[in-house]
Chain A
């Protein structure tokens, strides 16, 4: 084969490999039970070489799993051992430190054999409805209280599912059918990837992925290093204070460009919390890398070579919490990491980086039951909601849009079918955007009541209530959030709390920070904000 033809073959196969993982992700999306997967896209899928290096990752999915999965595969290879791997195997774990940061995320890895030869691995991750323990919330004192722990083990060997694991699982989780269903969905999606890969290798006449991997990694590495070389050299530090569980938590990051790498160090960050808001470093790293890639190399696909130059380091603290720290709500601070890192990057690249936004999703997990003495239903309901994004250097911020998370909200009509609640309001929150030459995105207002004759407890997973999203380069802060009952009772940002029958839960989600001096804002844009009621000023 001539060099020219080889070049084209390699390009075509790379393209095909990305399609293979898209098919894998699509299968998971279609079969998953978990609300956060099927409605919100909280999943990831990828293909790896036999050494555990990621070759390609599905675009479908959320950044939280960027390279958490990549590292997980190495743990699987070490733990299971090549000699114990057989065609038809599927391995599983939900270990927060070896998987993706909390027990709710199930990671599955399947070896891909062509004949007797191990040619690669498929991995996927998804958030399941329940893992037992205290449920999805911040109140566990250690990971032992947060649910069942599944060490790296076989879910299936040579195609036969581990029945003991399934029985233990059934006994330990609240929604056994849905959770077991999701285990099957995860395994099935790896099967789809495997079948497609083998079909591709047979069609093209490949025995291994070695040459293709070398090609992908060489091209990606060169492109990534070129971008890194274009960054200024130096170190920049940013500090951000967040609400925490009951006391404020300081996060600190120092971004340093050195040689061919960019490192973020989280030294100076507050220590491990007593509550389940700690973050395993693997998840911190995922969101730190995501933030850096968005700015430095947004068009370069995720694989081992494109992620390798981005590194993190940290002493033990809330962003690098070792076992057995409680980590159930690790996403709240995980979602703050991009704004933290971008704040440091903004000093290196002035005029290029957006202002702070709402950051963490305002997730609500509701446990609804009939009020005392009433008939009714019980239900577990999860909602994802987003505040405003920060203003960009040349555009207003996006209203009520998730960043950094990649998830979608659910229709309220679907949520009301899930259980006995009524959502009375879900609309933009006027006057919440940080002013600036470009304003932040608006937050939103949500009002939820238990259906008549019901009450609910809910797990709050909110932040930016005491600490507003900050503006940049003269832009003003976005409005902080607020959680209360409709009688005015203020609620805490985190932890399980009660909404009695007849009351409404009222949430004001934060608005994004503004960018640049408000005096420079185009008067036409300001008039438009008043016309639309984004600013209540003159209209009422």
Chain B
């Protein structure tokens, strides 16, 4: 790996990040995202880093790309006009959703509109039952007529989703044949895009895939052509939401898998740090301008889930977006970033976000017309930021404007000084992130304080120490290159693919041959995708999602990668009971005869990655005294303390600085609160650790 030349490109909402791994040396840059020609921003950034490195396009061995374009197309509803063909009697599944309101008390609630409007949804008779059997034959004549309508209807894509197709895809396959014979459009079918039970999620996912497909295919085409024009001869691979790499061809066919690929890169970045230092339990914390994202990383791998929600329309509220059921790196995202606006509610409580000042007008202190206080304004008033040295001095920050905005919108209403109000704002945003992290850990049956934190993103180092105090976390790493973490993460991603299938299998009627056959099929699919990118050894992880019959929530139970025999029922049962007790504290006593069942089986295939150069955490050998100091507010003692200021690049490995301190660098500052010290590591990471740890 260290001998190769690899390039990662991450298109985000504001910036396009490029990271070049030149035989182990990272060279990176940020350029503004170009919405009309996204590939242009990539090439602009590549020109910069390649010139820096003194190499050409032809020297690249691989380009790894992740993009938020698919997500944006869903959020902004800029996809293709899509025809959706579905089972008779179920025209409105994607419109009726869960028949519920995501906010119980808002009577003026608006629900998200379906991706495919009702007039573009066609139904056809034919029905598969819950055991995969055919209950009613497919009405092929009706399908012919529908195909004619689609052909003349001015559509750009077709989606097909039938009830229980995840068990028996025959009707979907036949429908694709019939429509494909008359219509020259990309056709997506639910049993391929998302073979999971639960019709709303599956139908919405296949519609989303069809909806973004023409646009993504054309973009990926252009990108490859432009790269070739520049002289690149290497393959391009795409990072998917599950954190692995797939070929451009696969990505163009299943573009819904690219949704959330940028944040996935961040999680892989953190996982790589965890692997380098041998940290088995890590929580990654990524805070940017608009949101904060938190992800649990166990045994060097980010936690994954089988579905998630995108394009939330209202205050990031659960239920206000649309479900996408594909394998995904599981993280929570809340509206807490440097630009999040602080305000006061009817009870006089300080609230932060989810509204953001964004980059224009930005926080009040940017002096670009922002009137309302943002988190960055509070950070400035508390002394965490140096007004004359923000972004390397590129942006002058106004303490007066920040104080004025905080007083006007928060302090005066509560009778608090600007400093106390800024303290309150900081406490509330940190508390919100801490609560989200805690609830996320509970949902996964984990204890958050058992983890070490890895913090990255522009705003995270300002808040990480206080967050650790609130979560009872003792140590936090801030790796170098944290500003372009996702793009660096791409370089570390394996060629990987996860296949899933829903089958209800009760352990009392466990049939080893059926399960082995199912797993073999899933492996063939997953390994096929991985083989497009690697000749190396492929490792498979088998996970069964299981529950007591009658429950509705399945927990992941890892299984060995080998053929099962009838005797393995006991092994599977034991593993389930162990996992259950880990999640929920106690297994349920005395439930003799209550059936345990498998609902979904997943096979995750990935090539074996070369281990990163191992490093050992040092707690420091030399104490380093800060050359200068300034007044910074310390939250745990709620008072202003004289605080050491240290330039990050002045620290040598093993140097330990006693908190309170601020370690400054061009892109951000690391705030070390009074309970912590900070130690420079051999790889350039900063380790914050509680004072009592030596």
A185–B550 Cα gap in the complex (Å)?
13
Q: Which chain B residues lie closer than 8 Å to A519 at the CB level?
A: none
- Asked if B5 lies at the interface with its beta carbon under 8 angstroms from chain A, I say no
Q: In the complex, what's the smallest C-beta–C-beta distance from B508 to chain A, in angstroms?
A: 13
Fill in one digit per residue for A505-540: 1 if any B CB lies within 8 Å of its CB, else 0: 000000000000000000000000001111000000
Q: For A428, give its contact among B96, B347, B414, B427 (CB under 8 Å).
A: B96
- Asked if B197 lies at the interface with its beta carbon under 8 angstroms from chain A, I say yes
Q: Across chains A and B, which 4 residue pairs bring their CB atoms closest together, nearest first?
A: A38-B552, A425-B89, A19-B435, A298-B105
Fill in one digit per residue for B488-503: 1 if any A CB lies within 8 Å of its CB, else 0: 0000000000000000
Given A11-B349, A16-B435, A188-B584, decide whether A417 and B414 contact each other with a Cβ distance below 8 A: no
Residues of B251-300 contacting chain A, CB below 8 A: none
Q: In the complex, what's the smallest C-beta–C-beta distance from A87 to chain B, in angstroms?
A: 17
Chain A minimum-CB-distance residue to B165? A413
A227–B105 Cα gap in the complex (Å)?
15
Residues of A1-53 contacting chain B, CB below 8 A: 1-2, 4-5, 7-8, 11-12, 14-16, 19, 22-23, 26-27, 29-33, 35, 38-39, 41
- Asked if B229 lies at the interface with its beta carbon under 8 angstroms from chain A, I say no
Can you list 26 A-B contacts with CB-CB less than 8 angstroms, sorted by A residue number? Answer: A5-B420, A8-B423, A12-B428, A15-B428, A22-B435, A23-B439, A30-B443, A31-B551, A35-B550, A35-B552, A59-B104, A161-B589, A181-B594, A223-B348, A299-B345, A386-B100, A394-B108, A401-B99, A403-B101, A412-B90, A414-B197, A414-B198, A425-B88, A426-B90, A428-B118, A534-B118
Q: Which chain A residues lie closer than 8 Å to B346 at the CB level?
A: 223, 226-227, 297, 299-300
Chain B minimum-CB-distance residue to A291? B107
Q: Is A11 in contact with B96, judged by CB distance below 8 angstroms?
A: no
A251–B189 Cα gap in the complex (Å)?
51
Q: Which chain B residues lie closer than 8 Å to A38 at the CB level?
A: 551-553
Q: Which chain A residues lie closer than 8 Å to B431 at the CB level?
A: 12, 15-16
Chain B minimum-CB-distance residue to A409? B99
- Asked if B231 lies at the interface with its beta carbon under 8 angstroms from chain A, I say no
Residues of B511-553 contacting chain A, CB below 8 A: 548, 550-553
Q: Which chain B residues lie closer than 8 Å to A178 at the CB level?
A: 550, 594
Known: A5-B420, A7-B420, A297-B346. 19 other contacts (CB 8 A): A5-B638, A8-B423, A11-B427, A11-B428, A33-B550, A178-B550, A219-B348, A293-B105, A299-B105, A399-B92, A399-B96, A401-B99, A409-B96, A411-B197, A412-B163, A413-B164, A413-B197, A427-B96, A532-B117
Q: In the complex, what's the smallest C-beta–C-beta distance from B126 to chain A, in angstroms?
A: 12
Given A294-B107, A531-B119, decide whether A180 and B420 contact each other with a Cβ distance below 8 A: no
- Asked if B235 lies at the interface with its beta carbon under 8 angstroms from chain A, I say no
Q: For A4, give its contact among B417, B551, B588 (CB under 8 Å).
A: B417
Chain B minimum-CB-distance residue to A412? B199
A184–B443 Cα gap in the complex (Å)?
18
Q: In the complex, what's the smallest C-beta–C-beta distance from B426 to chain A, in angstroms?
A: 9
Q: In the complex, what's the smallest C-beta–C-beta distance from A196 to chain B, in angstroms?
A: 8
Q: In the complex, what's the smallest C-beta–C-beta distance from A185 to chain B, in angstroms?
A: 8
- Asked if B560 lies at the interface with its beta carbon under 8 angstroms from chain A, I say no
Q: Is B95 in contact with A175, judged by CB distance below 8 angstroms?
A: no
- Asked if A398 lies at the interface with its beta carbon under 8 angstroms from chain B, I say yes
Chain B minimum-CB-distance residue to A24? B442
A426–B88 Cα gap in the complex (Å)?
10
Q: In the complex, what's the smallest C-beta–C-beta distance from A203 to chain B, in angstroms?
A: 7
A63–B100 Cα gap in the complex (Å)?
13
- Asked if B237 lies at the interface with its beta carbon under 8 angstroms from chain A, I say no
- Asked if A407 lies at the interface with its beta carbon under 8 angstroms from chain B, I say yes
Q: In the complex, what's the smallest C-beta–C-beta distance from B113 to chain A, in angstroms?
A: 11
A385–B129 Cα gap in the complex (Å)?
21
Q: In the complex, what's the smallest C-beta–C-beta distance from A131 to chain B, in angstroms?
A: 16
A307–B129 Cα gap in the complex (Å)?
48
Q: For A406, give its contact among B104, B345, B553, B584 (CB under 8 Å).
A: B104
- Asked if B591 lies at the interface with its beta carbon under 8 angstroms from chain A, I say yes
A223–B101 Cα gap in the complex (Å)?
25
Chain B minimum-CB-distance residue to A1? B638
- Asked if A192 lies at the interface with its beta carbon under 8 angstroms from chain B, I say yes
A399–B551 Cα gap in the complex (Å)?
29
Chain B minimum-CB-distance residue to A530? B119
Chain B minimum-CB-distance residue to A406? B104
Given A12-B428, A31-B584, decide whether A533 and B119 contact each other with a Cβ distance below 8 A: yes
Q: Is B585 in contact with A188, judged by CB distance below 8 angstroms?
A: yes
A476–B200 Cα gap in the complex (Å)?
32
- Asked if B586 lies at the interface with its beta carbon under 8 angstroms from chain A, I say yes
- Asked if A479 lies at the interface with its beta carbon under 8 angstroms from chain B, I say no
Q: Which chain B residues lie closer than 8 Å to A199 at the CB level?
A: 472
Q: Which chain A residues lie closer than 8 Å to B118 at the CB level?
A: 428, 532-534
Q: How many residues of A contact B (CB 8 A)?
A: 95
Q: In the complex, what's the smallest C-beta–C-beta distance from B452 to chain A, in angstroms?
A: 19
Q: In the complex, what's the smallest C-beta–C-beta distance from B484 to chain A, in angstroms?
A: 32
Q: For B594, give its contact among A177, A392, A427, A447 (CB under 8 Å).
A: A177
- Asked if A207 lies at the interface with its beta carbon under 8 angstroms from chain B, I say no
Q: Is B101 in contact with A27, judged by CB distance below 8 angstroms?
A: no
Q: Which chain B residues lie closer than 8 Å to A533 at the CB level?
A: 118-119
Q: Which chain A residues lie closer than 8 Å to B98 at the CB level?
A: 408-409
Q: Which chain A residues lie closer than 8 Å to B146 at the CB level?
A: none
- Asked if A79 lies at the interface with its beta carbon under 8 angstroms from chain B, I say no
Chain A residues in the interface with B (C-beta under 8 A): 1-2, 4-5, 7-8, 11-12, 14-16, 19, 22-23, 26-27, 29-33, 35, 38-39, 41, 59, 62-63, 129, 161, 166, 175, 177-178, 180-181, 184-185, 188, 191-192, 196, 199, 203, 219-220, 222-223, 226-227, 293-295, 297-301, 354, 384-386, 392, 394-395, 398-403, 406-409, 411-414, 416-417, 422-428, 444, 447, 451, 531-534
Chain A minimum-CB-distance residue to B96? A400
Residues of B339-369 contacting chain A, CB below 8 A: 345-350
Fill in one digit per residue for B71-114: 1 if any A CB lies within 8 Å of its CB, else 0: 00000000000000000111111011011110011111111000
Q: Is A15 in contact with B432, judged by CB distance below 8 angstroms?
A: yes
- Asked if B135 lies at the interface with its beta carbon under 8 angstroms from chain A, I say yes
Q: Is A416 in contact with B130, judged by CB distance below 8 angstroms?
A: yes
- Asked if B308 lies at the interface with its beta carbon under 8 angstroms from chain A, I say no
A23–B439 Cα gap in the complex (Å)?
6
A203–B448 Cα gap in the complex (Å)?
15
Q: Is B350 in contact with A11, judged by CB distance below 8 angstroms?
A: yes
A395–B109 Cα gap in the complex (Å)?
9
Residues of B419-455 contacting chain A, CB below 8 A: 420, 423-424, 427-428, 431-432, 435, 438-439, 442-443
Chain B minimum-CB-distance residue to A30? B553
Chain A minimum-CB-distance residue to B599? A417
Chain B minimum-CB-distance residue to A398? B111
**Among B95, B98, B438, residue most surrounded by chain A Cβ atoms (within 10 Å):** B98
Given A417-B130, A424-B89, decide whether A177 and B105 contact each other with a Cβ distance below 8 A: no
A30–B638 Cα gap in the complex (Å)?
38
A178–B504 Cα gap in the complex (Å)?
18
Q: Is B89 in contact with A19, judged by CB distance below 8 angstroms?
A: no
**Among A220, A300, A422, A426, residue most surrounded by chain B Cβ atoms (within 10 Å):** A426
A226–B347 Cα gap in the complex (Å)?
10
Q: Which chain B residues lie closer than 8 Å to A22 at the CB level?
A: 435, 439
Q: Which chain B residues lie closer than 8 Å to A222 at the CB level?
A: 347
Given A35-B552, A385-B99, A414-B198, decide whether A427 and B89 contact each other with a Cβ distance below 8 A: yes
Q: For A532, give its contact among B107, B119, B550 (CB under 8 Å).
A: B119
- Asked if B219 lies at the interface with its beta carbon under 8 angstroms from chain A, I say no
Q: In the complex, what's the smallest C-beta–C-beta distance from B69 to chain A, in angstroms?
A: 29
A59–B439 Cα gap in the complex (Å)?
13
Q: Which chain A residues lie closer than 8 Å to B442 at the CB level?
A: 23, 26-27, 192
Given A416-B129, A532-B119, decide whether A444 and B96 contact each other with a Cβ distance below 8 A: yes
Given A31-B584, A425-B89, decide whether A184 and B589 contact each other with a Cβ distance below 8 A: yes
Q: Which chain A residues lie closer than 8 Å to B109 at the CB level?
A: 398
Q: Which chain B residues lie closer than 8 Å to A15 at the CB level?
A: 349, 428, 431-432, 435
Q: For A300, give its contact among B111, B347, B432 (CB under 8 Å).
A: B347
A423–B586 Cα gap in the complex (Å)?
37
Q: Is A14 in contact with B105, judged by CB distance below 8 angstroms?
A: no
